[in-house]
């Protein structure tokens, strides 16, 4: 993957020179094996808790992450992504980090941090 093949510019994801439509600006874009993991950042006054997407290398939507099952707050979006060669972890502001199933976007607890 080259810098020109995948880039984020002013919150817009570009793949092979084509903008990819997402519901909110892109905060983070990571490649994991044959997919792209995209974390979008909704505006502060918007509740959008399923803010991680998996896309094919061509920009097709594969899945949208499951909402965090923990916490009493209504607004609990994911704040960051971490990838290594074996796993993807999504950190949530409620203090829970989740393993993300790369096949369907379901989550399971990786760690409680608060």
User: Does residue 1 lie within any of the structural domains?
Assistant: no
User: Does residue 50 lie within any of the structural domains?
Assistant: yes
- Domains contained in the chain, number: 1
pLDDT for the residue 71: 84
Residue-wise pLDDT tens digits, 22-51: 999 999 999 988 899 999 999 999 999 999
pLDDT for the residue 113: 78
Burial of 36: CB neighbours in 10 Å, binned 0-12, 13-18, 19+: buried
- The list of the chain residues with pLDDT below 70 reads 1-4, 114
| The overall pTM is greater than 0.85 | yes
**Rounded distance between C-alpha atoms, residue 11 and residue 40, angstroms:** 8
pLDDT for the residue 1: 47
pLDDT for the residue 19: 95
User: Does residue 89 lie within any of the structural domains?
Assistant: yes
């Amino acid at each position: 993957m080259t810098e020109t093949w995948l880039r984020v510019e002013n919150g817009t994801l570009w793949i092979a020179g084509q903008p990819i439509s997402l519901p909110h600006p892109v905060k983070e874009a990571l490649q994991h094996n044959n997919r792209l993991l995209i974390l979008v950042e909704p505006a502060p006054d918007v509740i959008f808790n399923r803010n991680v997407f998996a896309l094919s290398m061509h920009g097709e939507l594969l899945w949208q992450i499951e909402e965090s099952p923990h916490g009493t707050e209504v607004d609990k979006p994911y704040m960051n992504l971490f990838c290594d060669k074996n796993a993807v972890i999504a950190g949530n502001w409620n203090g829970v980090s989740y393993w993300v199933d790369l096949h369907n976007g379901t989550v399971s607890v990786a760690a409680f941090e608060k």
